[in-house]
């Protein structure tokens, strides 16, 4: 406790308190006098000045950078967008004016009248937003017949590929209060658009540029008459992605009508070639303002189109995880590849019976066939020899359990359980019966499709973990390269070469073998290696029910992870179809489609290298238009 000194000395403060009070009164008197001078003595003068106050500071927004794909095709630009504005009051023949205008811009005249009336005394109302070019020309040329009508131009972000790659590219939205507070110093102001998701958000710093200012003379309605002084805005930098829009389009189409994700990585660099999440959305909606129906659709609880399933979604990996378990078991020497185990369709741990997906079991089986046929019981058995902590250690080396570090927002870490985790989370010890579930990619384990893709690439390249990346270059508007990005190694999984080979051979036979679970992915174009996964959503009791017979929400997730070609792999592909049922049936054919597209396009690419005008249906390649500054 604090000692209370000098309690009796308190009166000594009295003089000082009085002094302080005096200060307050003096300040009050002084400020009041100041206001008296400004408002009463000089009030009339200032009122006149306010009426003639024509000089106004305006910000000149910076033109946002362009975004290109790896083949330099334009994906996002900022185009000029024209709004028709109206200053009501004092215009003779308002009705005629609005009727004429309605014809020119092809909208309902009465509706215009309504908007013009409904301005609530506002000095200027926006009648029509984003009118098309012929209307702009018409309004401009008939300016004299349209008293009180003005065109205002501003830059509007335009996503040329619409829904394709929407999750990667993201969208802009109005700056919120927290961002505003943080970014004030960087020149952001209330009402500014700022990246709110995807590339637009995480690369805001490069894309945004810096707004300038103008000292302008305005008329009584606030319309710009003359620019007196100007500080130029610094335009944002352009960004070139590693994304291949051809491939992205294929991935997008393949997922249409489904819920799920596809990730395509370059095996030897970690560069993202395609990353699709479905259902998707159109970022152009955000650029023009959402209708309430669109907003309801976007925030739908079940479909959640704004959610980037490829890196924000966390799912049990199912049997695809057996790759990790197999590598761990081989490397730790708990099983020889030649050792035969018995799979009778079920496995007993303590008082718990774990089933194989195949009711009658796979019989005598070795490592190779256990992977090829995805025998659960085999992995249940080796999981007991490994223990959960070892499985977890290998999983973490492959990058599971923490975000991959791709420069996008909201990436999920996934979850790799082990003894310590469970003790910390639930305060209970780890049960032996939980380890087999982890070994086959169920139980507490959860992963993102992006982590799966990174793992697959690591298996394909023989142990190097790369951080997935998707921005290749940042280029200034003058074409100067500001930043150049390349592969970043985040770790290595050092295993004996023969162990990699055993698993890779098995993955080849998953697709190409007689009894492989992904024969549906076999391709004429290229050799594919992969692993299917069928992740249970709901824990099943008793006899296995066919997934197709279950209600949609509890149907299994279908996974397929793959790389190709089998010799000297180039790409790793992961497909996830939520509630898609069996991985081999649903996910594998999609992956095949994407892989084939890659190798077919790749052959074509050489011919199309120099004419930049190769066009894809979704891509409208135009030179970036010059945007006038917004008014």
Give the residues lining the site for other proteins (CB under 8 A): 1-2, 4-7, 9-10, 12-14, 16-17, 20-21, 23-25, 27-28, 31-32, 34-36, 38-40, 42-47, 49-50, 53, 56-57, 85, 120, 122-126, 177-178, 181-182, 184-185, 190, 201-205, 212-215, 218, 221-222, 229, 231, 407, 409
Q: How far is the CB of 85 from other proteins (least distance, A)?
A: 7
Q: How far is the CB of 61 from other proteins (least distance, A)?
A: 14
**Cβ-based nearer residue to other proteins, 176 or 492:** 176
**Cβ-based nearer residue to other proteins, 37 or 420:** 37
Query: Following DSSP, what letter does each residue of 135-155 receive, concatenated?
Result: HHHHHHHTGGGSTTEEEEEEE
Helix, strand or coil, per DSSP, at residue 171: strand
> Around Cβ 619, how many Cβ atoms within 10 Å?
19
DSSP character at residue 53: -
In sequence order, what are the residues at sequence separation of 6 or more whose Cβ sits closer than 8 angstroms to the Cβ of residue 489? 464, 465, 466, 467
**Cβ-based nearer residue to other proteins, 205 or 359:** 205
**Cβ-based nearer residue to other proteins, 213 or 491:** 213
**Cβ-based nearer residue to other proteins, 57 or 606:** 57
- Token pair 């658009």 is at which residue? 193
- Helix/strand/coil (H/E/C) assignment for every residue in 539-595: CCCCCCCCHHHCCHHHCCEEEEEEEECCCCCCEEEEEEECCCCCHHHHHHHHHHHHH
Q: How far is the CB of 44 from other proteins (least distance, A)?
A: 7
Residues 595/523, Cβ–Cβ less than 8 Å: yes
> 190: alpha, beta or left, given left = phi > 0 and alpha = psi -120 to 50?
beta
**Cβ-based nearer residue to other proteins, 272 or 511:** 272
Q: How far is the CB of 373 from other proteins (least distance, A)?
A: 43
Q: How far is the CB of 82 from other proteins (least distance, A)?
A: 15
Q: How far is the CB of 60 from other proteins (least distance, A)?
A: 10
Residues 212/59, Cβ–Cβ less than 8 Å: yes
Q: How far is the CB of 96 from other proteins (least distance, A)?
A: 24
Query: Following DSSP, what letter does each residue of 464-505 receive, concatenated?
Result: EEE--B-EEEEE-TTS-EEEE----EEEE----HHHHHHHHH
**Cβ-based nearer residue to other proteins, 211 or 593:** 211
Q: How far is the CB of 319 from other proteins (least distance, A)?
A: 33
**Cβ-based nearer residue to other proteins, 11 or 257:** 11
> Measured between alpha carbons, how far is 251 from 447 in angstroms, rounded to an integer?
20
**Cβ-based nearer residue to other proteins, 45 or 352:** 45
Q: How far is the CB of 491 from other proteins (least distance, A)?
A: 20
DSSP character at residue 38: I
The number of C-alpha atoms within 13 Å of 118 and in the hemisphere containing its C-beta is 8
Helix, strand or coil, per DSSP, at residue 215: strand
Q: How far is the CB of 9 from other proteins (least distance, A)?
A: 7
- Residue 114 vs residues 98, 143, 151: alpha-carbon distances, Å: 10, 21, 19
**Cβ-based nearer residue to other proteins, 5 or 350:** 5
Instruction: Write phi, then psi, for 199 (nearest 5 degrees).
Output: -55, -45
**Cβ-based nearer residue to other proteins, 44 or 338:** 44
Residues 324/391, Cβ–Cβ less than 8 Å: yes
Q: How far is the CB of 334 from other proteins (least distance, A)?
A: 39
In sequence order, what are the residues at sequence separation of 6 or more whose Cβ sits closer than 8 angstroms to the Cβ of residue 27? none
Angle at 396 between CA 357 and CA 512, to 5 degrees: 45
């Amino acid at each position: 406790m604090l000692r209370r000194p000098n309690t009796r000395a308190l009166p000594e403060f009295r003089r000082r308190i009085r002094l302080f009070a005096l200060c307050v009164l003096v300040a009050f008197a002084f400020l009041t006098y100041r206001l008296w001078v400004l408002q009463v003595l000089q009030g009339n003068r200032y009122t006149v000045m306010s009426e003639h106050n024509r000089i106004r500071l305006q910000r000149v927004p910076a033109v946002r950078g362009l975004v290109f794909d790896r083949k330099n095709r334009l994906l996002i630009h900022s185009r000029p967008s024209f709004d028709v504005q109206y200053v009501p009051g004092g215009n003779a023949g308002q009705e005629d004016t609005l009727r004429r205008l309605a014809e020119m811009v092809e909208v309902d005249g009465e509706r215009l009248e309504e908007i013009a009336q409904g301005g609530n005394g506002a000095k200027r109302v926006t009648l029509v937003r984003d009118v098309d070019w012929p209307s702009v020309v018409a309004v401009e040329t008939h300016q004299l017949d349209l008293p009180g009508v003005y065109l205002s131009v501003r830059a509007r972000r335009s996503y040329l590929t619409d829904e394709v790659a929407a999750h990667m590219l993201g969208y802009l939205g109005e700056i919120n209060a927290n961002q505003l507070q943080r970014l004030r110093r960087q020149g952001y102001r209330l009402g500014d658009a700022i990246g709110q998701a995807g590339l637009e958000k995480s690369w805001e710093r490069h894309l945004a540029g810096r707004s300038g200012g103008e000292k302008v003379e305005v008329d009584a309605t606030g319309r710009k008459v003359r620019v007196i002084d100007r500080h130029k805005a610094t335009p944002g930098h352009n960004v070139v992605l590693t994304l291949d829009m051809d491939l992205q389009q294929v991935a997008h189409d393949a997922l249409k009508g489904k819920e799920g994700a596809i990730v395509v990585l370059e095996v030897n660099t970690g560069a993202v070639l395609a990353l699709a999440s479905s259902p998707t959305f159109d970022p152009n909606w955000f650029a023009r303002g959402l209708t309430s129906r669109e907003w309801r659709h976007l925030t739908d609880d079940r479909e959640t189109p704004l959610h980037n399933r490829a890196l924000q979604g966390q799912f049990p990996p199912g049997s695809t995880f057996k790759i990790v378990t197999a590598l761990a078991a081989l490397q730790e020497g708990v099983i020889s590849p030649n050792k035969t185990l018995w799979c009778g369709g079920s496995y007993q741990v303590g008082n718990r019976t774990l089933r194989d997906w195949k009711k009658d079991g796979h019989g005598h089986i070795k490592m190779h066939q256990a992977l090829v046929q995805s025998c659960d019981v085999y992995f249940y058995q080796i999981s007991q020899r490994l223990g959960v902590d070892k499985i977890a250690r290998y999983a973490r080396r492959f990058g599971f359990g923490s975000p991959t570090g791709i420069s996008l927002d909201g990436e999920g870490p996934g979850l790799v359980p082990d003894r310590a985790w469970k003790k910390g989370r639930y305060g209970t010890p780890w049960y032996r019966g939980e380890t087999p579930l982890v070994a086959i990619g169920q139980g507490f384990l959860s992963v993102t499709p992006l982590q799966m893709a990174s793992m697959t690439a690591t298996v394909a390249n023989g142990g190097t973990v790369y951080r997935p990346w998707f921005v290749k270059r940042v280029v200034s508007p003058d074409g100067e390269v500001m930043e150049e990005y390349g592969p970043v190694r985040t770790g290595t999984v050092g295993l004996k070469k023969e162990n990699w080979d055993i698993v890779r051979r098995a993955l080849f036979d998953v697709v190409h073998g007689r009894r492989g679970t992904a024969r549906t992915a076999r391709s004429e174009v290229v050799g594919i290696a992969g692993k299917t996964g069928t992740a249970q959503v709901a824990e099943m009791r008793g006899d296995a029910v066919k997934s197709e017979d279950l209600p949609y929400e509890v149907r299994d997730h279908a996974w397929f992870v793959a790389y190709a070609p089998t010799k000297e792999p180039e790409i790793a592909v992961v497909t996830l179809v939520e509630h898609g049922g069996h991985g081999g049936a649903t996910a594998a054919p999609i992956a095949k489609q994407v892989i084939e597209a890659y190798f077919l396009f790749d052959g074509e690419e050489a011919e199309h290298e120099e004419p930049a005008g190769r066009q894809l249906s979704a891509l409208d390649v135009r030179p970036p238009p010059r945007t006038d500054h917004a008014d």
